[in-house]
Structure 1
């Protein structure tokens, strides 16, 4: 064996072997669970049904009255299902929108990165947004009267996927840790595997499963939009979905480590909530924030840099065209640094609490060792 082999408790397993052994155990136990397989299948079928239904609804939602200025004609040339009214200038387009003769106007805009913008009364028609290859800035003449429907739909999508995946797997990790403590299985495990390798294996195993679900959901979205011929919307969602997967990876590792550490501080299943409740609130917060503030640029900007909400906030800003090219890179660096710090703290808590049976271990004791 190499000098890196672990001999604590008589183990001759290398660190990598020990971690992968635990990860395989976690993955195998989930895949053998009928409840996990059935719930995952229902999730995938439901997601596919929603994507296909939404795509056909968008395809059938034709005849949307739209005013188009002369300098914006090329941006709607390939769009289908629009009842276009040609106007001379922006003022004429806005007049038609205010009078209710058209649902929105597409106008040339030199300040827009795409060269054009949408003008609407209270919210841009979803059918129009779906027909455009890229989502341009939207200017509302009466913003207090409504919300951007497309942004709201995207907010629900990113928010609920993060909420379900993080809470499901976070709770599963916590229950697994406490079950092993309660049944004394953990004493057998650490006789062959170092405590930190046990933690790493649990996190990696559940991360593989969670990322697998995210990637399959992304594939379902691509397939559904392709089947319904919504290639324009697919192009607009491509970058946000890719960034969501990247942010979710590090965000999940961060939360999974903390869930395992929090669960190691108790010895009974009924006590899990006392230590994991703060983490559950951190998982739920991004969902509610993005739902209620999806049209608030300031709140979304703050969310995109806070590590616990960045996996939802930054992809949302990218979808809405609010993020500069460098912002996702800066945000992911902050998230990765926080992730490393959280892993170090979680490993210390886990190592100092795992073999303590009986009452709840205080956080100060877990950190002090």
Structure 2
């Protein structure tokens, strides 16, 4: 008599479930078409913006003798010499130039940018390092650079978290309706099934983010706007790390919330609060990107940190140790959410019919 094959190890089981999740998404025409549209749209946007920037006239910038070395040779700038800092400020104030670059011994970069109401985005993105920015009339406008950064990081996280969060929820309920879940948990533990679902969708989400980043790099290179990426390396790297843990946090909660219902029509009743946890922080970061207090707080809140902290890093408003503390808080929250989600998932997965109450799902 042949002995039964040994059960696969937990890592192997998790990856088998993850492969199943990845394969089912890649076989879905809706998923493939929507991803293709997203990537093509991103490529078209990058190319359009790059060519528009390349065809636009140069940015008029005043420079003093002690700052010319920092901007000389940068494409897209029309330099005007100023005798001293006061003369440079006068050129900015009367509108002769959009901004001025002056020497600043107190700055780590050796120079500072002076602008009227908001610094020109093209200038700041062209500089190798973001310098301090001094506004002559700060109440007259807001920084377009900060707004672009908040929108860019925010949209990527919002779209990925919402899209894959709803996909995980639908997958969980579909398995409950078709009774497939009963077969799955007869072969592997419930926590392994949950882990596999989270891992599989995280791989897909990260792949989309990397593809979008690659498209941005290629698009800017094709349009001759490679200088726009200078200074973005560190914020983008941190965004990828924060995105990873932030997505795992939300994915596990979406799976747990979906396990509490048995019909596709009821998914919204348990996942709506999670959707709000994604959207509210996103809008707060976008609308208050120029408020140091609000954006500072949001960069430490786990649900908004994946957007808030990279924006602060991009604008040079965060100290080197701040992203480490924020990431530690996010990881701790992620670990706690996984424990809670696993408990809800285990207690609700096999219960059919009426929606499982949260108190019952959290019961022992």
Report if TM-score (shorter chain) is over 0.5: yes
The separation in 1 between residues aligned to 2:147 and 2:235, in whole angstroms, is 15
Confirm or deny that 1:311 pairs with 2:306.
yes
Contact 2:285 2:304 in 1 (8 A): no
- Structure-2 residue corresponding to 1:110: 105
Partner of 1:363: 358
Query: Aligned equivalents of 1:334 and 1:78: distance in 2?
Result: 43
C-alpha distance in 2 between matches for 1:50 and 1:239: 23
Equivalents in 2 of 1:366, 1:309: separation in Å? 27
- Between the two proteins, the alignment pairs up a number of residues equal to 361
Larger CA deviation: 305-314 vs 100-109: 100-109
Residue 134 of structure 1 and its aligned partner are, at CA, apart by: 2.3
Query: Does 1:42 pair with 2:73?
Result: no
* Superposed displacement of residue 11, structure 1: 8.3
Q: 1:135 to 1:56 in 2, by over 3 A?
A: farther
1:126 is aligned to 121
CA shift at 1:36, angstroms? 0.5
Deviations 1:57-116 (A, max 9, x none): 222223322111222111111212222211122211111111111111111222322121
Cα displacement (A) at 1:351: 0.3
1:154 alignment partner, SS class: helix
- Root-mean-square deviation (Å): 1.6
In structure 1, runs of 5+ residues without a counterpart are 1-6
Residues 64, 82 of structure 1: 8 Å contact kept? yes
Alignment of 1:13-52 (within 5 A): 13-52=8-47
Q: 1:282 aligns with which of 262, 277, 280?
A: 277
Alignment of 1:53-92 (within 5 A): 53-92=48-87
Deviations 1:345-364 (A, max 9, x none): 10001001111111111111
Q: Report what 1:173 is aligned to.
A: 168
Q: 2:227 aligned with 1:224, yes or no? A: no
Q: Does the CA-based 8 Å contact 2:126-2:230 persist in structure 1? A: no
SS of the residue 1:71 aligns to: coil
Indicate the SS of the match to 1:70: coil
Candidates 193, 200, 215, aligned match of 2:210 = 215
* Runs of 4+ with deviation above 4 angstroms: none
Match of 1:324 in 2: 319
Change (3 A) 1:203 1:22: same
Matched, 1:299 2:263: no
SS at match of 1:105: strand
Q: Secondary structure at the match of 2:25?
A: helix
SS in 1 for 2:332: helix
Tell whether the 8 Å contact from 1:267 to 1:359 is kept in structure 2 after alignment.
yes
**Whole-Å separation in 2 of the counterparts to 1:50 and 1:121:** 29
- 8 Å contact from structure 1 (residues 203, 253) kept in 2: yes
Is 1:93 aligned to 2:88, yes or no? yes
Give the drift of 1:149. Answer: 1.4
Secondary structure at the residue paired with 1:214?
helix
Contact map agreement 1:61 1:127 (CA 8 A) in 2: no
Aligned equivalents of 2:103 and 2:286: distance in 1? Answer: 31
Q: Closer, same or farther in 2 for the Cα pair 1:234/1:217, shift >3 Å?
A: same
Q: Aligned with 1:205: secondary structure?
A: helix
Q: Give, in whole Å, the separation in 1 of the partners of 2:128 and 2:111.
A: 12
Residue 137 of structure 1: which of 103, 125, 132 is its match?
132
Query: Are the equivalent residues in 2 in contact too, given 1:11–1:193 (CA < 8 A)?
Result: no
For 2:105 and 2:34, locate their aligned partners in 1 and report how far apart those are by CA, in whole Å. Answer: 49
- Three-state SS of the structure 1 residue aligned to 2:66 is helix
**1:345 corresponding residue in structure 2:** 340
CA distance in 1 between counterparts of 2:37 and 2:6 reads 41
Extract unaligned runs of 5+ from structure 2: none
Q: 3-state DSSP class of the match of 2:267?
A: helix
| Structure 1 residue 238 displacement after superposition | 1.4
- Distance in 1 between residues matched to 2:261 and 2:41, nearest whole Å: 36
